[in-house]
Amino acid sequence: MPAQPYVRFQSPYPDRLGRRIGIFGLVNMLGKRGLLTPAEEHFRRTTNAWYDATYLNPTTVDPTVYDPTINPTAAAWFSPTAEHLLKPIPDYLAILAAHNLPCDRYDSPDPGRIIYEDPNQVVVVPHEAAPSIEPTASMWLPPTP
């Protein structure tokens, strides 16, 4: 039986440092720039607070997990058992679509070398020798008129 895949939602385009920003970072970027509607900002703040209360931030266990000099390409993936954490994702995707920001879904049983793991997520450094993982689905929609 094949391993259940880990799941990640991220930008299809790398940032200036070569990283692909995840779904939470993309929505938070819009919020920090003041580009969200009041309803979107309320959703962002309350749902981010729910995530903060629901699962552990890896940096509280290991502050070097996302250190750009140690793990510059580290990225978090949802564990196969974290289905409850995926329920708000469609609303994050709707916000990104309303602002014309694409976001791809990736599924992989082996997304990289695990540098952090808990019951809800893994943080990995992608395998350098492996071919890049292709997106499972692209979540881009043009903004509504």
| Maximum alpha-carbon separation in the chain | 47
Cβ distance 56 to 62 under 8 Å? no
| 66 secondary structure, DSSP code | T
State in Å, rounded, how far the first CA of the chain is from the last one.
46
- In the structure, what pLDDT confidence band is assigned to residue 97 with cuts at 50, 70 and 90? very high
Q: How confident is the model at residue 135 (pLDDT cuts 50, 70, 90)?
A: low
Q: Tokens standing for 42?
A: 């309320």
| Mean pLDDT, residues 83-89 | 95
DSSP-derived 3-state class of residue 98: helix
Reported as a pLDDT band with limits 50, 70 and 90, residue 87 is very high
Which amino acid belongs to residue 131? P
Q: Which residues neighbour 23 within 8 Å (Cβ) at sequence distance 6 or greater?
A: 9, 10, 89, 92, 93, 96, 103
pLDDT at 100: 94
The three-class DSSP label of residue 97 is helix
What is the pTM (predicted TM-score) of this model?
A: 0.84
Q: How many other C-beta atoms lie within 10 A of the C-beta of residue 102?
A: 17
